[in-house]
Amino acid sequence: MKIEKEWFKCVVSMLLVQVFASGMQILSRVILMEGTSIFALIAYRHVVAAVCVAPFAFYFERGRAKKFRSCSIWFWLFLNASVGITLAMGLFYYGLRDTSATYAVNFLSLVPIFTFIISIIFRMERVRLERWTGKIKTCGAIMCVGGALTSGLYKGKEFYIDIGQSGHHNHTVTVEAYKTNMLRGTLFLVGSCFSYTAWFIVQVKLLEIFPFKYWGTMLTCIIASVQATIVGLCLDCRKVTWSLKWNLQLMTIIYSGALASAATFCLIYWAIAIKGPAYPTMFNPLTLIFVAISEAILLGEPIRLGILLGMVLILMGLYSFLWGKGKEIECLVGASGEGSTSMATESAGVHSTAIVVPTLSPSNGVLGVEKIERC
């Protein structure tokens, strides 16, 4: 009975994570279409996230202030915020504004594949096609790339879920943006994927010298907020751009910082501690489905056949890739004789600050690939 309750709690917590992420994508899409400044959104969101994570940092990791004296730690924290939030999230929001939430989330699902490819290019990971895990990972990566090409190049028939006139009005606005800025938005999203890939590599280095997840998350959020403020003021310093009112923009900022960042981070780390680092990644592709349905119902966005086919290929490929990578991690833990605690810590660090990415996983980092000889 106890095991069943634990299993139920883990499933519900991971479903909540996907609901939070999906809601954030839809809300962000709406306010960006209304003209909200991208860097103002990033700055305010991460102020809220830092405030929400701060109590955990001071309670669970108190007495660690002396660890901040090293210049190298601040350098990697600054780089972590620059690459993973200011640049990657900024590009993603530009792409989200120019395309659609469903299309953008499709690209986010490719981040582990981009990381896998970059790791191979820089010889941080080796493709072992003679191993069955290597074959599964490679096939999954190919399917994901094929799915991205399908959703981007093939439009096909459109399907609508019409609910009232307001949905029709929103549909007109979003479709116009889809037709006009699709190419530009795709380029932004591809750039975002590469930025997130570089960010995971940066986090591996940061975790080696600064393994404090709550402090690392809070400080990264603070630094990113300052960076986004500076960039945003350089682009648009008008008072109206940075003023907050009791509207959907303020709700999105609080929602993104409190639920989609801080609460999600805690739920993911709790699930990792119980089920292991590969468990949360099994639920990440559900965001694709939640966003597609929500956007069609709430915003009147058409569900295109090309995006549906691409989504299916990406889901199948991503699950294949993550399953193969999960088996490699199991072999790694067994071969090294290490417990799951260090692995969970490393994975939680990867999840920590980019909850905008629904596909964050331990497979995004490079975890001792040289030891996976026996798989």
DSSP label of 306 = H
- pLDDT (tens digit per residue) in 244-288: 888 899 999 999 989 988 888 888 878 877 876 667 777 777 888
Q: State the chain's mean pLDDT as an integer.
A: 78
pLDDT, position 250: 93
In the prediction, which pLDDT does 365 show? Answer: 36
Rounded to whole angstroms, the Cα distance separating 101 from 93 reads 10
> Helix 101-108 vs helix 88-98: angle between axes, to the nearest 10 degrees?
140
Q: What is the pLDDT of residue 163?
A: 63
Between CA 272 and CA 283 the distance in angstroms is 13
Task: Give the C-alpha separation, 4 to 26, whole Å.
Answer: 33
Question: Can you give the length of the chain in residues?
Answer: 375
Q: Give yes or no for a contact between 227 and 82, defined as CB atoms under 8 angstroms apart.
A: yes
Look at residue 297 in the predicted model and tell me its pLDDT.
85
pLDDT of 27 higher than 90:
yes
Residue range 51-84, pLDDT digits in tens: 999 998 888 888 765 666 788 889 999 999 999 8
pLDDT number for residue 153: 72
- Round to whole Å and give the CA distance between 140 and 142: 5
User: What type of residue sits at position 228?
Assistant: A
Can you give the pTM of this predicted structure? 0.79
pLDDT tens digits, one per residue of 114-142: 877 787 787 777 777 777 878 888 888 88
CB atoms under 10 Å from CB of 280, counted, come to 28
